[in-house]
Structure 1
Amino acid sequence: MNSINMKTLGFTDRLAAESTLYNGLYVGRVFSQAKDLYKVMSEGGELMAEVTGKFRFEAKTLSDFPAVGDFVMLDRDVSATGNAIIHHVLSRKSAFIRKAAGTSNDEQVVASNIDTIFICMSLNNDFNLRRLERYLSIAWVSGAVPVVVLTKSDLSDELEQQLREANSVALGADVLVTTAMSEDGYSQIMPYIKDGRTIAFIGSSGAGKSTLINRLIGGERLDTNGLRNDDKGRHTTTRRELVLLKNGGIVIDTPGMRELGIESANLSKAFSDIDELASMCKFRDCTHAKEPGCAVQKAICAGKLSVERLLSYQKIKKEAKYNGLDFKQIETMKLNEMFGGVGGMKNARKFAKGNHRGR
């Protein structure tokens, strides 16, 4: 196999400087993973790799292990007898994280070093502003730049209205409209795809992600299925994998991306309008309910902010706060909030005991 220029794989000057800390090792990028084995691309070509026993022993969490998209330091850059050995993972510029399977609160990196994340939403019954807000919250916190892609415009009877609504919540993000019906239906996303840049797609199943990726790749690499009668679609991608595009750029489509929860969310970017209004409230700890001098409620009364958007903000904020906690921890946090003004859990217990004695 011909040698590969690592810059076409997204290897930056910052990563090059970091890699000099590891003398005698070679740089590679993880393209796919199957259990404990990784397919890695290096200057010398493709090779299979695994982590060292020392790496496994010193890893504190699942997120310390290599993930698809990571740049790693290897003991070799060409395929030889046995698997290459991964000694280090270089710093990630962005990472999409989900809670690991099981009861543990451990977090797992689904994909890393993504430059642009396309949030796909179909312009049919799947169109949902509240869901779009959730995706934007997840995208902003990852470190990648979100771009909203409204797909299947040929199925919409209210395109202009839906476009206005999407722009009203996608603050700071570009909003594009595409259709898979014509050959150039995906042309609007092409300016975002450049040599050495990594892109990913998230969004509801059946929103046209795989169709768009197939057009970029230039073949039916990924299976596609339409929406079911309930408009939820069928999941068609079975593993995480980076794919080099013929015209430059790298794309990833991963089943893990659709399982992302609100482990953390960047509300200050996804809801920058509410954040800005909240800074003008009379009270610093304003809940935006019935407090006097609430700038958020004033904006709602003036028709500048919808009640639905405020409720969505409050719901995502609460989910982010409770995520990763077990039932008892959630109940304790709720009680602390309820009795926060009168001494927290201590007084809550006294209150409960007093009520019990009075029975």
Structure 2
Amino acid sequence: MTNLTLSDLGWSARFRAEAGDDTAAPARIASVARDRLEALTPSGAVSLTLPGGQSTGDYAVGDWVLFDPATGRVTRLLERQTAIRRKAAGREAKRQLIAANVDTLGIVTSCNADFNIARLERYLALAEASNCLPLVILTKADESETPDDYRRKAERLSPLVSALALNARDASELERLSPWCGTGQTLALVGSSGVGKTTLSNGLTGRGDATRDIREDDAKGRHTTTSRALHRTLAGGWLIDTPGMRELQLTDAAEGIDSVFSDISELAAQCRFSDCRHETEPGCAVQADIAEGRLDSDRLARWRKLQREDARNSESIAEARARDKGFGKMVRSVKALKRLDRRD
């Protein structure tokens, strides 16, 4: 990979302004390992280390950093234009960075039993909370008799959604994605295993990663992508492929949820009581629309579920951070007292 400019890598006027007169060199993170960062520069690929006390877990594929070419050590992380995060899988109250500086979040599903409205709404809320443009990519259109029906269902979920139904194995159809992964643009792919992300990635980048068949009984597949990485697309932009997500828990996504469910949010503002729970309260505009058939009660239930989940996860992560800060303060106090004791 040669003859790339910073602009080719996604460098923008905003990053240039933030870097200012800093003499350190810019690089874009292509992959994150346990003890180092692999990055891309106009001069080629570099392997970077971090200052003491920093963890590679604080960095994401797509990040821009400044580094010292003489030592290969990162000196500064530039502010992210967009950041895709979720609650880390499992019971631990932590956020997990998925990708950074992504222009478009490609939400991949397929025109078969994998198509799931609730899951799509969840991914759309993630895109909105991350400040990414949401794009629903419906694969296996060639295997469905009604691919446009799936596309229309996806587009009805939110006025912010664009959706495409295509055959990921057809190079001419993949060209329809060029506007989202052309020069300077970054497209990230998310979705369940077996929906065709690896096939899409191969077609968009010219790579040849192996794919695995889906299970016939439930249209689900197995993981073929095992880590996140930044790859050049044939259209001149960048692609971040991600492993299939078995669990996507939202956190700090309240605004994203409201955007995806803007129809309910707008109705809720018309309720007689500001604290209306949209159950049996008089003057509830939400329940009035349900009664008149303009709003699906299942959609209201999904909205409530995401709101509860986001509030719970956001609160638990904030509490965990407060505990960590409190513990760190206590440790520092004990160390300070021990130093005083030694002096005495």
Report if TM-score (shorter chain) is over 0.5. Answer: yes
Equivalent position of 2:334 in the other structure:
none
Equivalent pair of 2:113/2:218 in contact (CA under 8 Å): no
Q: Distance in 2 between matches of 1:225 and 1:71?
A: 33
Change (3 A) 1:10 1:134: same
Instruction: Tell me the TM-score normalized by structure 2.
Output: 0.84
Pair 1:144 & 2:132 matched:
yes
Equivalent position of 1:273 in the other structure:
263
Equivalent position of 1:225 in the other structure:
212
Equivalent position of 1:108 in the other structure:
96
Deviations 1:3-31 (A, max 9, x none): 5311111100000000015x221111111
Task: Provide the aligned length of Structure 1 versus Structure 2.
Answer: 314
Kindly state the Cα deviation for residue 159 of structure 1 after the two structures are TM-superposed.
3.2
Equivalent position of 1:305 in the other structure:
295
Equivalent position of 1:33 in the other structure:
32
Change (3 A) 1:191 1:102: closer
Deviations 1:264-308 (A, max 9, x none): 321121111111111111111111111111111111122221111
Pair 1:205 & 2:193 matched:
yes
Equivalent position of 2:43 in the other structure:
44
Query: After the TM superposition, which residues 59-78 of structure 1 pair with which residues of structure 2 at under 5 Å, given as runs?
Result: 65-76=58-69
Q: Distance in 2 between matches of 1:49 and 1:13?
A: 24
Equivalent pair of 2:82/2:130 in contact (CA under 8 Å): yes
Equivalent pair of 1:148/1:170 in contact (CA under 8 Å): no
Q: Distance in 2 between matches of 1:105 and 1:241?
A: 25
Query: After the TM superposition, which residues 112-191 of structure 1 pair with which residues of structure 2 at under 5 Å, given as runs?
Result: 112-191=100-179
Kindly state the Cα deviation for residue 75 of structure 1 after the two structures are TM-superposed.
0.6
Equivalent pair of 2:190/2:244 in contact (CA under 8 Å): no
> Identity across aligned pairs (percent)?
39
Equivalent pair of 2:230/2:240 in contact (CA under 8 Å): yes
Change (3 A) 1:166 1:99: closer
Equivalent position of 1:293 in the other structure:
283
Q: Distance in 1 between matches of 2:143 and 2:4?
A: 42
Equivalent pair of 1:95/1:143 in contact (CA under 8 Å): yes
Q: Distance in 2 between matches of 1:110 and 1:274?
A: 29
Q: Distance in 1 between matches of 2:74 and 2:140?
A: 42
Kindly state the Cα deviation for residue 132 of structure 1 after the two structures are TM-superposed.
0.8
Q: Distance in 2 between matches of 1:325 and 1:208?
A: 35
**5+ residue gaps, structure 1:** 330-359
Deviations 1:208-232 (A, max 9, x none): 1111111111231x22122213322
**5+ residue gaps, structure 2:** 320-344
- Give the 3-state SS of the residue equivalent to 2:173 in structure 1: coil
Equivalent pair of 1:40/1:49 in contact (CA under 8 Å): yes
Q: Which amino acid aligns with 1:284?
A: S
Equivalent position of 1:12 in the other structure:
12
Kindly state the Cα deviation for residue 102 of structure 1 after the two structures are TM-superposed.
6.9
Equivalent pair of 2:140/2:166 in contact (CA under 8 Å): yes
Equivalent position of 1:254 in the other structure:
242
Equivalent pair of 2:67/2:73 in contact (CA under 8 Å): yes
Q: Distance in 1 between matches of 2:117 and 2:291?
A: 21
- RMSD over equivalenced CA pairs, Å: 2.2
Q: Distance in 2 between matches of 1:295 and 1:101?
A: 37
Kindly state the Cα deviation for residue 124 of structure 1 after the two structures are TM-superposed.
0.5
Q: Distance in 2 between matches of 1:241 and 1:282?
A: 50
Equivalent position of 1:344 in the other structure:
none
Q: Distance in 2 between matches of 1:241 and 1:219?
A: 13
Q: Distance in 1 between matches of 2:100 and 2:164?
A: 24
Equivalent position of 1:349 in the other structure:
none
Instruction: Tell me the TM-score normalized by structure 1.
Output: 0.81
